[in-house]
Amino acid sequence: MRKALEPYMKLAPFAGIGIALVAIAIAAVLYVQRGAHVVLKGSVQKVRTLALDENSSAAVIDFRATNPSDYPFIVREVSVVLVEPDGTTHEGLVVSEVDAMRLFEYYPVLGQKFNDSLIARTKINPRETIDRMLAVRFEVPEQRLQGRQNLRIRISELDAPPSEIEEVQR
């Protein structure tokens, strides 16, 4: 039996070297492509709420977003989803920059407008971090908005899958 395995025993070191070279090649390809995945990472910094009437409310969301890739991230569309404690979701209506400025002007209780709104065609350069805000109208009373589980900001890119920035309740 040992005599039958002898030719294979001579090939074993060469097979091991071949497998090691293939593993090194795969690792090199993955290393070179590490910045090619276009995605946004970020965090919600602050959320301010306002009752518009008894059945609707507004949320002003200040957030930070980072583009860790080697390619620019160009915003195509932005949406915000309210998640209630029971899991019910409500999609909000994102307000334009002009309307957001009016909102701060008419409702001083919101405080200062710290950042520009994130709008379509905003370009986030490779490895850049930006601070932006969104003003969003929800068709729920302010009390339900304040008692939320979290808010999810969904940012779609022109050529990549959408990214989500999720609020972490503290």
For the chain, give percent helix, strand, coil, nearest 5: 30, 40, 35
* pTM, rounded to two decimals: 0.77
Nearest-angstrom CA–CA distance, 39 and 29: 19
Write down the pLDDT at residue 124.
93
CA dihedral 147, 129, 101, 103 (to 10 degrees): 0
Write down the pLDDT at residue 33.
57
Write down the pLDDT at residue 34.
55
Write down the pLDDT at residue 51.
93
Task: Report residue 24: phi and psi, to 5°.
Answer: -65, -40
Nearest-angstrom CA–CA distance, 101 and 110: 11
Write down the pLDDT at residue 36.
56
Tokens of 17: 């070297």
Residues of the chain with pLDDT under 50: none
Write down the pLDDT at residue 24.
80
